[in-house]
Amino acid sequence: MTGPPVGVGPWSVEHPGEPIPDDDHLDPELLATGDTRNVVDAYRYWKREAIVADIDTRRHPLHVAIENFAHDANIGTVVRTANAFAVAAVHIVGRRRWNRRGAMVTDRYQHLMHHDTVGDLLDWARGEGLSVVAVDNTPGSRPLETVELPRECVLLFGQEGPGVSDDAQRQADMTVSIAQFGSTRSINAGVAAGIAMHAWIRQHADLDQAW
């Protein structure tokens, strides 16, 4: 069973009798053939560069970093969620290569940065005046549910399994944990990233600007 079609058809089909708009934001090819991309309706027919530029005017002073020393499969999910929350940039620490399937092409609209080591990431963050908040369920961590997150910060996540590296936790400005009540030792890294990003959104974002 298939669901309803996603996106819109050619402009001439969607708006019969109306002239094709003359707008630099719009992509002539998409106007001619239709737009089935994974974008909100407000961006239908827009050029990719125009979408990125528009999001850039509304991005939050929140950065997200994930360690990728073992080719973590959660990065795509993190990138997709970061795009949904208009995060300033996603930082990949370690290996450059990652599985983009989970990103659902949202990486085309999200700024990405690479750092070879945790030290490189921390040096960059401090040079930008950003606090670094590690997210991991470790002794001494502060509950994400009650802590006040810095407005300008980097949320740092570890790999699936080992979590945030010891080096990263030692150098982070704080470590926060997500409350759990079941038997599992830890939450999937991609899910944890979404929870933490949304906690920041609840504290600092202007919800009137949400779609």
Q: Is pLDDT at 4 greater than 70 in this prediction?
A: no
DSSP code per residue over the chain: ---PPPSB--HHHHSTTSPPP--TTB-HHHHHH-B-SSS-GGGTTB-HHHHHHHHHTT-EEEEEEEEETT--TTHHHHHHHHHHTTEEEEEEEE-S----GGGTTGGGSS-EEEESSHHHHHHHHHHTT-EEEEE---TTPEETTT----SSEEEEE-BTTTBS-HHHHHHSSEEEE----SS-S---HHHHHHHHHHHHHHHH--GGG--
Q: What is the pLDDT of residues 99-146, one digit of tens each?
A: 888 889 999 999 999 999 999 999 999 999 999 999 999 999 999 999
* Terminal-residue alpha carbon distance, the chain: 29
Cα angle for residues 187, 189, 191 (degrees, 5° grid)? 70
What pLDDT, on a 0 to 100 scale, did the predictor assign at position 101?
85
What pLDDT, on a 0 to 100 scale, did the predictor assign at position 71?
62
What pLDDT, on a 0 to 100 scale, did the predictor assign at position 74?
86
Average pLDDT over the chain reads: 94
What pLDDT, on a 0 to 100 scale, did the predictor assign at position 2?
57
**How much is the average pLDDT of 156-174?**
90
Q: Is pLDDT at 69 greater than 70 in this prediction?
A: no
Q: What is the pTM of this model?
A: 0.93
* pLDDT band with cut points at 50, 70 and 90 for residue 162: confident
Q: What percent of the chain has pLDDT over 70?
A: 96
Q: Is pLDDT at 53 greater than 60 in this prediction?
A: yes
Counted residue by residue, the chain has a size of 211
What pLDDT, on a 0 to 100 scale, did the predictor assign at position 185?
85
* pLDDT band with cut points at 50, 70 and 90 for residue 159: confident
Domains defined for the chain, CATH in brackets: 23-55 (no CATH), 60-209 (3.40.1280.10)
What pLDDT, on a 0 to 100 scale, did the predictor assign at position 72?
64
